[in-house]
């Protein structure tokens, strides 16, 4: 499958093919020889001091917690393991994201949650000091955690035309018509576009949602604009979560996720141990072995559930 706005993924295999199509734009990591098979995180916990946990496909699917995930986090805490959520969910300000996990039954503190939004907002002054941003966000996002000058790019018909750069946080309100509008305004006035959620898709109860990374790579196909991806698999996110997990040696930390091209590739590139969860996210219902072979992205461990 070539990357195209006209070929949205229907299955996990479709989504994998899309990630393979943009493989050259992703970080590189030294290959690993093989994966250890285990039943869950409890079986490998002794090998690591801390765990960075993806949300979708590891802790929850859509608006429901994965069976046993809340109890597993309590078990890891009792064993003295540091925990931190590392999510590419940039649609929510920190308090909203923490509240979501609490509603699902998890007890993560604000310091134990790192989103790609957090990473992006910390980097905006370094990307373009004093710049103003047209922000593509979810409905109801007040943008009050953004210290740089900004506005809701979808609040007015010409909102995408203004600002020194574009900050893409959420695809919840995004449409193909708006994608074409963004392409047109960038052709007329090229600007930096920051994709604060590099995911192409996210698993939901009934399929996959298209995420900002999908539309960012579509821009790259059409325009080759000045794009900056922030979040997994890129290094800035792993640097922040490593500090939150106590700053220990990367090989004593494990990245736990459901995707090869974001969670596992990013963790491998950062020097973390890596754990692929196959039963709930991108690879649910699939034999993951052929995908590992084709991508040459090998996790240290493969488990069916958290």
Residue 42 is assigned to a structural domain of this protein: no
Same domain, yes or no: 262 and 224: no
Residue 193 is assigned to a structural domain of this protein: yes
Judge if pTM exceeds 0.75. Answer: yes
What rounded mean pLDDT belongs to the chain?
A: 94
Distance in angstroms (rounded) separating the CA atoms of residues 261 and 279: 17
pLDDT over threshold 80, residue 127: yes
Residue 269 is assigned to a structural domain of this protein: yes
Outline where the chain has alpha helix (H).
12-21, 69-78, 94-103, 116-127, 176-188, 212-222, 235-244, 265-270, 289-295
212-222 and 176-188 helices, crossing angle to 10°:
50
pLDDT tens digits along 29-59? 998 989 999 999 999 999 999 999 999 899 9
**Region for 31 from its dihedrals, namely left if φ exceeds 0, alpha if ψ lies in -120 to 50, beta otherwise:** beta
CATH, residue 181:
3.40.50.1000
User: What does the pLDDT read at residue 205?
Assistant: 65
Same domain, yes or no: 219 and 244: no
Residue 201 is assigned to a structural domain of this protein: yes
User: What does the pLDDT read at residue 1?
Assistant: 45
The mean pLDDT value for 112-136 works out to 96
Same domain, yes or no: 131 and 223: yes
Distance in angstroms (rounded) separating the CA atoms of residues 176 and 167: 17
In DSSP terms, 167 is beta-bridged to 135, 194
User: Domain range for residue 142?
Assistant: 127-229
Q: Which of 17-21, 77-81, 143-147 has the lowest mean pLDDT?
A: 17-21
User: What does the pLDDT read at residue 202?
Assistant: 80
Same domain, yes or no: 239 and 209: no
């Amino acid at each position: 499958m070539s990357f195209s706005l006209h070929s949205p993924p229907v299955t996990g295999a479709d989504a994998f093919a899309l990630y393979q199509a943009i493989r050259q734009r992703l970080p590189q990591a030294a290959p690993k020889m093989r994966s250890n098979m285990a039943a869950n995180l409890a079986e490998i916990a002794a090998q690591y001091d801390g765990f960075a946990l993806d949300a979708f496909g590891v802790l929850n699917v859509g608006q429901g917690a994965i069976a046993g995930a809340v109890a597993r986090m309590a078990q890891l805490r009792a064993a003295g393991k540091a925990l931190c959520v590392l999510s590419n969910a940039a649609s929510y300000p920190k308090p909203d994201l923490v509240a979501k996990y609490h509603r699902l039954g998890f007890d993560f503190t604000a310091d134990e949650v790192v989103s790609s939004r957090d990473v992006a907002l910390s980097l905006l002054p370094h990307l373009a000091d004093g710049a103003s941003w047209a922000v593509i966000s979810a409905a109801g996002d007040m943008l009050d955690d953004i210290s740089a000058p900004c506005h809701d790019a979808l609040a007015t018909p010409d909102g995408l035309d203004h600002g020194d750069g574009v900050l893409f946080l959420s695809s919840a309100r995004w449409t193909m018509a708006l994608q074409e509008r963004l392409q047109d305004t960038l052709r007329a006035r090229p600007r930096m576009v920051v994709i604060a959620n590099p995911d192409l898709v996210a698993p939901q109860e009934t399929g996959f949602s298209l995420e900002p990374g999908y539309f960012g790579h579509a821009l790259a196909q059409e325009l080759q604009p000045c794009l900056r991806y922030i979040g997994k698999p890129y290094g800035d996110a792993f640097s922040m979560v490593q500090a939150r997990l106590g700053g220990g040696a990367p090989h004593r930390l494990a990245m736990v996720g459901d995707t090869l091209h974001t969670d596992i590739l990013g963790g491998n590139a950062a020097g973390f141990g890596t754990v692929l969860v196959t039963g709930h996210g991108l690879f649910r219902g699939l034999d993951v072995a052929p995908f590992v072979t084709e991508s040459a992205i090998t996790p240290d461990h493969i488990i069916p559930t958290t």
